Amino acid sequence: MMFLRMCVSRTGTRYGVFGIHSRLRMTLLNALDISAKSCSGFCENRSELRWDLSPEQIGQRTERLIRRISHAYDSVAAVDVEKVCYENTLQVLAEAKLDYAVFSCDFHSASRHMLDFPQYVSPCKDVRSASTEADKRLSEFDVEMNMRSDVFQRLLSLQERWCNDLFPESRRFVERLIKLGRRNGLHLSADVQEEIKKLSKRISELSIDFNRNVNEDHTELMFSSEELSGLAESYLNSLERTEDGQYRVTLMYPHYFPLMKRCHVPETRRKMEAAFHSRCKEVNTEVLEQLIELRAKVAKLLGFSSHANYVLEMNMAKNSNTVSHFLDELYEKLKPVGQKERQYLLLLKQAECERRGLDFDGQLHAWDLPYYMNQVEQVKFAVDKDKLIEYFPLEVVTEGLLGIYQDLLGLRFHQVQNPNVWHDSVKLYTVLDSTSGEEIGHFYLDLHPREGKYSHAACFSLRPGCLGPDGKRVVPVAAMVANFTKPSRNWPSLLQHHEVETFFHEFGHVMHELCSRTRYAEFSGTLVETDFVEVPSQMLENWVWEKEPLRRMSRHYIDGSSIPDNLLDKLIVSRVANTGLMNLRQIMLSKLDQSLHTKSSADTVTEFSKHCKEILGVSATPGTNMTASFCHLAGGYDGQYYSYLWSEVYSMDMFFSRFKHEGIINPKVGKEYRRKVLEAGGSVDGMEILERFLGREPCQDAFFQCKGLANQCNIYT
């Protein structure tokens, strides 16, 4: 597990408060002179989205999209409150949402994601800039539409007159719209609404700027071969070299993490760690601290004691007290484990300093942690990382991963030849149900780093799975974006085991997006409670710690041989390595996030340093500010980073009680998981989904068992 992963795009939650009803008609599309025939044709025949728009076209289509959706909202606002009904209110808004998020009904149109996604992946800087500006413009428009009190009044009237006659999911949808309207302050005075609107627009703009700054950071460091002592030949061969023989090392994941774990030279690690945690320090520190202040102001205007309590109202946890109790309980159990692990790391450092003739300062620094934690795996568990990586060429991992997901979930994947993609390294797949042959969805794989590309690993929803205007299912589309090492002339792309785990995790989000079968786009795929969104994908990480799936996704890159049993056994046992420190870091980041978002303002450098020392027991490197590149805080996880640990507790329960007990490649359990968990999307509360799949209330036993902190629980034997 990497310390920081952006695991799913939550941007879908920004796109207005309106979704899709099951009995949709073509009223709006006809009013806008868009034929039902052309829209139906898009739905049935267009498996690909367009990624060839020029910067000028992105700008033009952005304004055209805004005009179309504005027209729909205006038509609802014009309805007499006493004459509100389904057809003239919810249906019109629902079809507008469909047009916004899904349809590209003519050559000159574009959906939201065709306009805002290129900022993360386009190889052209001008296109990325145009997409970023489109995102800002559309986010501002979202705020405008979300603050339409005239539309909100029609929804209130609809709820009062018709809500009892709706299907359960439809009632849930209407109730959600009303709740979101109140969370936008539409029940408050006009002056307060105007202030909230102004602040919300600024928050949206700053969040986009924050992430753009990180994505556009191109910091590089130059090192000699001596300064990179300890790194594998495959790593060195992946680096560019300068004319004077220096190695060019970027701060992208395939460069940064292997160096921090394997380089013998403390000064090299120190320089890398300082640079990595100083990315965008000046500009993004200011941006983040502005965001914290603005979020607190909005929360106060809406009657909440803090921004954390505001965002948590919509989550399983409900409030910051619940989160605090959850984190404190974990901290108390993990604290003594972390203390023992730090002591052991210090012994390893002392022994290495003596062996290499280095001065031992008696301290663990931030740049020491990854290096000596990696040594724990080698010393205590004898995991040979140099040998292990040779068995995980990306093509083999991809083939095995896709095969496992197909068998488990009852699906078939077919690669699309000559697809329309944003870069020639991107692949597109069609997904079919293995029994019926029904088209389930489409996904892109964009797996290698390049300049200006999104720098983490994430799943992006590009088209929701829901019902269209003709009552047929709209085929969903998603993209997995990652930064695995590029293949070179002499070496294939070889993955570290933790990268294999990341691949499995992110692809779990892709399956969540594609397998959901909800009536409304508002509940499609990963649009669930934020502290539930990681549950399905974290559950699937367990497959990379089991022998059978590991064998299916590995072969030696030269001779195709299998991983030796002794190496595989050592890898699996090493799962409990560094349990205390790994999870204490997650607690530290979660508590940091809560601290920042329970205040009206914050000094992020001071807060980060304080939590590092108090919880992790290791000081932050002076002069750095990790929060300036902590994209979760500007990417939909503000006040909600605890979700990773919270979700992991439930995901372990699902895995151990069902799959581990009944068979990890058991298609019967896999299809039940697809039906009860993935297909539900956000149409059902997360806790209810868990109880349906588990057949009981969830518990924490499996989590502590997996972390090596508890004896095996009877329910798993």
Q: Which residues are catalytic?
A: 506
**430: phi then psi, degrees, rounded to nearest 5:** -100, 140
Q: Find out whether 225 and 236 touch, Cβ atoms under 8 Å.
A: yes
**473: phi then psi, degrees, rounded to nearest 5:** -75, 130
Q: What angle, 0 to 180 degrees and rounded to 10, lies between the N-to-C axes of helices 149-162 and 90-101? A: 130
Cα separation, 382 vs 380, in Å, equals: 6
Residue type, 671: K
SS3 assignment, position 715 = helix
Q: Bridge-partner residues for 461, per DSSP? A: 478
Tokens of 516: 């959901």
SS3 assignment, position 131 = helix
Cα separation, 130 vs 58, in Å, equals: 7
Q: Bridge-partner residues for 393, per DSSP? A: 494
Cα separation, 307 vs 323, in Å, equals: 14
Q: Find out whether 154 and 165 touch, Cβ atoms under 8 Å.
A: no
Cα separation, 463 vs 469, in Å, equals: 15
Q: Find out whether 309 and 321 touch, Cβ atoms under 8 Å.
A: no
**Strands across the sheet with 247-250, in order?**
220-223, 247-250, 240-241
DSSP code at position 517: -
DSSP code at position 711: P
Cα separation, 717 vs 714, in Å, equals: 5
CA 471, chain centre distance (Å): 30
Q: Which residues contact 663 (CB under 8 A, 6 or more apart)?
A: 669
Q: Find out whether 25 and 468 touch, Cβ atoms under 8 Å.
A: no
Cα separation, 558 vs 276, in Å, equals: 34
Tokens of 252: 């992208």
**Residue 2 burial class via C-beta count within 10 angstroms: exposed 0-12, middle 13-18, buried 19 and up:** middle
Of the candidates 633, 530, 636, the residue with the CA atom closest to the CA atom of residue 290: 633
**Residue 187 burial class via C-beta count within 10 angstroms: exposed 0-12, middle 13-18, buried 19 and up:** middle
Please write down the long-range contacts of 558-566, taking CB distance under 8 Å and 24 or more positions apart: 558/390, 562/391, 563/388, 563/391
Cα separation, 346 vs 362, in Å, equals: 7
Cα separation, 342 vs 136, in Å, equals: 45
Cα separation, 58 vs 125, in Å, equals: 13
Where do we find the tokens 């007990």? 661
Residue type, 307: H
Cα separation, 230 vs 493, in Å, equals: 20
Cα separation, 543 vs 659, in Å, equals: 10
Q: Find out whether 173 and 199 touch, Cβ atoms under 8 Å.
A: no
Cα separation, 441 vs 486, in Å, equals: 27
**Residue 168 burial class via C-beta count within 10 angstroms: exposed 0-12, middle 13-18, buried 19 and up:** exposed
